[in-house]
Structure 1
Amino acid sequence: MLRMAFTLEHTSTAQDVDYTLRLTTDEDGNTAVELTGVDAEGTRVAEGSLTLPPGGAAPCARLLTQSLTALSGLRSPRSRKPPTSGNANQRWTAESDAALREAWLSHPPTDPAPEVIRQLASEHERSPAAIRARLARISCDPDVVGRLLNETTAGLVGRGAVPAAAG
């Protein structure tokens, strides 16, 4: 069986680190694997090498894939439960509804709704999705800051569980 020597190099960037993987195979079928990682300041932050016998690349690749996938799952921000807001899963009270309604109506309609919703979420220790949903339930238009829903739009967005506060 005739074998050829070759070199394969692949580069990738992740989290401001440039990784280079170099695979070199000789005529006997041995494969040398070298990995380096250099950060934005030019500091080498990752390095390693291994030599594989003929036919060893595929099983080693499977092993490395499984191991690194498992390791990244342990450290991945996606694998952690997202932080919850202080009042998450707490019932809305009449007082908290009134405070939210008053805060929403105090902003001019020229303020961007997503920004105001994020601000109110922080103030009320709720998620932006919870604030947006609650606005509609207390007769506020979640798309236009400072505006109440009319009967037609209230029906479309699902108002009804909380009576509208006296305005």
Structure 2
Amino acid sequence: MAFTLEYTSTARNITYTLTVNADTEGALAIDLTGEDESGTRVAEGTLTLPPGGATESARLLHQSLTAIAGFETRRPRRSTVGNANQRWTPDEDTALREAWLSHPPTDSATEVIRSLATTHQRSPAAIRARLPRLTCDPDVSGRLLTETTATLVGRDAIPAVDDT
């Protein structure tokens, strides 16, 4: 039995048309086209299947296209800030420590960290992680770590800082 089916769908300003033609023997010719708003063809392809080949081919196409679609729907990578993944220099460490200690404990640690992240072109997570290494308490702005809190964050990870 011969027949023709046509399906149309529009996504992201491209109209896709899928046309399926079956001949009297059961062989299928599948044509896919895609046109943008100006009528320019941006996608096209033809698939010819023997009689009885539609089921397995449909399964394979479905699996393949589902996997490919997963790449399209992933969130784009976040843009990195200027100094991301760069080593901290001694001067940057000194500037960060001094800036942290210049804030009173009444300032929101989260807001101070965000501000320092912008100033130092680092992420807030990078600033928060660096503060204990500079003997600064990341939970209270303007405060140094006490012996107790230094033990909790790992005293061995904290280099001695000269306060003179």
TM superposition score normalised by structure 2: 0.59
Q: With the length of structure 1 as denominator, give the TM-score of the two structures.
A: 0.58
Distance 1:29 1:112 in 2: 70
Q: For 1:11-160, what aligned pairs fall within 5 Å after superposition?
A: 33-37=7-11, 45-52=13-20, 56=54, 59-60=57-58, 62-63=60-61, 65-67=63-65, 69-70=67-68, 73=71, 76-78=74-76, 82-160=78-156
Q: How far apart are residue 105 of structure 1 and its match?
A: 1.8
How far apart in 2 are the matches of 1:120 and 1:159? Answer: 24
Q: What is the distance in 2 between the residues matched to 1:121 and 1:165? A: 24
Larger Rg: 2
State the 1:74 CA deviation: 6.5
Count of aligned pairs? 132
TM superposition shift of 1:69: 3.8
Partner Cα distance (2:82, 2:111) in 1: 19
CA distance in structure 2 between the aligned counterparts of 1:31 and 1:144, rounded to whole angstroms? 68
What secondary structure does 2:122 align onto? coil
For 2:106 and 2:55, the matched residues in 1 are separated by 61
Over 3 Å counting, the alpha-carbon distance change for 1:100 and 1:165 in structure 2 is farther
The one-letter amino acid of 2:68's match is A
Structure 2: gaps (5+ residues)? 27-51
Distance 1:49 1:110, change over 3 A: farther
Deviation digits for residues 9-45 of structure 1, max 9, x if unmatched? xxxxxxxxxxxxxxxxxxx9986544234xxxxxx82
Q: Which moved more, 1:90-99 or 1:143-152?
A: 90-99
Identity %, equivalent residues:
50
